[in-house]
A and B are shown apart, each in its own frame.
Chain A
Amino acid sequence: MIWDLHCHLSGVDGRTPDERIAQLMEYADRMGIERLVFFMGMQWSHEPSPDDFRRQNDEVIQALTHWHDRAFGFAYVSPQFVEESLAEIARCIENGPLVGIKLWVAKRCRDEALDAIIERAAALKAAIFQHTWFKGTGNLPGESTPVDLAALAARHPTVRLICGHTGGDWERGIRAIRGHANVSIGTGGFDPTAGMMEMAVRELGPRRILYGSDIGGRSFASQLAKVTGADIPDEARRLILGQNLRRMLLPILREKGIDA
């Protein structure tokens, strides 16, 4: 069972969300990916206006229309617009089909502006995915590192958070969040550098690791390889490839009556 935490509608041909997701599903079939989580639309912006993130969420919702049996979506929101983000969570999650939120690079996640968003998402049992990177070449002004996420996690110790990209520089990223049991790592969106998964299992345990690809910019292949190619127990591999994500999403999926 493979569930992919981290999929996008970008980086693939197709004029509409429907065309794009249909193409992506062909590749997913080829790679044995059973369920996929999508967030953000066909065109991105670092600091989206409320109209922009609403448009992007509409595209994701449209993409899911014919794929409810195997695709889920997270709502893209921005701590630059807290009230509008709360309204978007109500529209897309409380009263809509989406099951989590995605926070990108508009504002560093240690900022207390995030607190209301995190609390609302947690109350709905929605998954919370925060992009993180440690870039040796320099982060964007609003781009979080795993250290920022650790600060957020300390303020919300009972809320489960996902450290997107494991910070890219995973040797630093794993260290940054390992003391926070409420943080899991997403393994998508960085090179398939060997030893990453072995260190993650050693330092975090297999239940805090979620496979994701970051398609279409990345391939399923390179990102699956981190799990299938790692020297880890088979039980850990099963947890990472799908069981952990299923366990995380199951409460909200059940509330929405989604069979999983």
Chain B
Amino acid sequence: MIDVNVSLSRWPFRRLPDDETPRLVARLKRAGVTQAIAGSFDALLHKDVEGVNRRLAQECRTHGDGLLVPFGCVNPTLPDWQEDVRRCHEVHRMRGIRLHPDYHGYTLDAPEFAELLTLAIKHQLIVQLSVMMEDERTQHPLVQVQAVDTSPLVDVLADHADATLVLLNSQRTVRGEALTRLAEAGNVSFDIAMQESVGGIEKLMKLVPHKRLLFGSHAPLFYLESALLKLQESDLGETIRRAITVENASRLSNSNST
């Protein structure tokens, strides 16, 4: 299986049972995950983005056991952020980047976001966009972060048709027709980490083709077993299950390899 949504380092607000990389990797392996795309919790609040990305790449090399694939962070509100895109691509040889517009404080109709997508297309980088990290109701009282408003994305993607976008943690706020419109607007995929309701993946497939769904756990902030059990709860059949857990993510990765 390929897990497109894990994070390394420390969640800023508490320690997590699997926030040491070897423990996380061991749990992923026990669950049958063979590859996991990793961002860094440090990306949320740190301003030394290259420091974050360098440690992330090093941690994946040192403790990833061949399983972790680093996706660096880019914060387009920081000066000279374009250099971070270049380094992700040329120095760290990353296949993608992970964005946190909620923690970094920009909207998706900002010109910097459009420029960032243009650069990502140029470097053939997959762009993961984290819509939220946790339920707004349980956030630390001094760090109240609103979920990303994805409504500008349809228009932005019209001008960036070659972008490869993966929305993480999206289903709490991106629902119904909005989800369908996004899937139709471009090469947009969605992970299942925050998909809720009974038989959740079955319901998601009524809105989005299964080829656009990816196995993502949001571990170690979420128990990994949540995403695993969703595969059991919905009646998927082996073909769709394999698409969601392996093939869709492989296809994305291959289509963006240089």
Contact = CB atoms under 8 A, between A and B. Distances in A.
Interface of A: 11-12, 24, 27, 30-31, 133-137, 168-169, 171, 190-195, 198, 215-222, 224-226, 228-231
B224 A229 contact: yes
A165 B200 CA distance: 20
Contacts, number: 115
Interface range for B: 35 or more
The interface residues of chain A, by DSSP majority, are classed as: loop
B232 A192 contact: no
B223 A229 contact: yes
Interface of B: 14-18, 134-141, 144, 194-200, 219-230, 232-233, 235
Given A136-B136, A168-B138, A225 B198 contact: no
Contact of A221 (B138, B139, B229): B229
A24 B199 CA distance: 9
Contact of B197 (A193, A194, A217): A217
B52 to A, nearest CB: 22
B196 A218 contact: yes
Contacts of B235: 30
List the 3 shortest-distance A-B pairs measured between CB atoms, nearest first.
Answer: A229-B223, A221-B229, A229-B225
A11 B198 CA distance: 8
Nearest to A219: B200
A222 B141 CA distance: 25
Nearest to B141: A136
B198 A219 contact: yes
Which of B14, B135, B220 is packed against the most chain A CB atoms within 10 Å?
A: B135
Contact of B223 (A24, A136, A194, A218): A194
18 contacts: A12-B198, A30-B232, A31-B232, A135-B137, A136-B138, A136-B139, A168-B138, A190-B135, A192-B225, A193-B221, A193-B223, A194-B223, A215-B197, A219-B198, A221-B228, A221-B233, A224-B229, A229-B223
Contacts of B196: 217-219, 222
Given A193-B222, A194-B223, A220 B17 contact: no
A191 B230 contact: no
B232 A221 contact: yes
Contacts of B199: 27, 219
Given A137-B136, A215-B198, A218-B196, 11 more contacts: A31-B233, A171-B14, A194-B16, A194-B223, A198-B17, A218-B197, A219-B195, A224-B229, A225-B223, A230-B223, A231-B17
A12 B141 CA distance: 34
B225 A228 contact: yes
A6 to B, nearest CB: 12
A12 B199 CA distance: 9
